[in-house]
Amino acid sequence: MFAGAGRTCLPVALLMLLFSAPAGAADRLELAVGKGSEQLDAARLAWQRPWIWQQALGENATVTGYHALSVNHWWNAHESITTLGYSPIFIYQDNGSPWYFQGGIGLAYLSDIRIGGRILSTRFQFEDQIGIGWQHRQHGLGLVYRHYSNAGIEKPNHGIDLLLFSYSLTLD
């Protein structure tokens, strides 16, 4: 009936998710710095939008999450790569505790495919992460391990590993 309607539904649905937030929930900005494979330094700036969805786990815990749009920069003495990324992040938190665990798998687009002796083969990469965080009022701190890889789509697939320390600020 509508030619191409299926191709436009996915981007529209993603935009609706990104620009809808639960009542009372606020966006956050995240700044992270860290180290990576092959003596890389790393910096990250991300905009986080809370999900509408959340699930209680018994009486004492909740699973929810956020969408993260990010710009990342990795560098060493001779080279650098900038990435643009999107990740849906799941959050597990005991009710009443400022501590939480997070994890997610997203997508990233890289400005180059070589850095520090690593060959990533494709500009498209998966962005996997797992971490722990602490949130008090509008301030948050986190320690996150991130792995970038093309999942073997093309060889060689050396990947990049990063350990980042982050600060986030909830915007009111």
Query: Across all residues in the chain, what is the average pLDDT?
Result: 89
pLDDT for res 79: 95
Does some domain include residue 4?
no
Question: What's the number of domains the chain is made of?
Answer: 1
Residues 129 and 108 sit within 8 Å (Cβ to Cβ): no
* Residue that wins the pLDDT comparison between 74 and 20: 74
CATH number at 144 reads 2.40.160.20
pLDDT for res 18: 53
pLDDT for res 131: 98
The pTM score is: 0.84
Residue 65: alpha-carbon gap to chain centroid: 11
Q: Give the domain extent around 38.
A: 27-170
Residues 87 and 129 sit within 8 Å (Cβ to Cβ): yes
Does some domain include residue 48?
yes
Amino acid at 25: A
pLDDT for res 44: 98
pLDDT for res 58: 87
Q: pLDDT tens for residues 30-83?
A: 999 999 988 999 999 999 999 999 999 988 999 999 999 999 999 999 999 999
Poorest-pLDDT segment among 1-10, 88-97, 134-143: 1-10
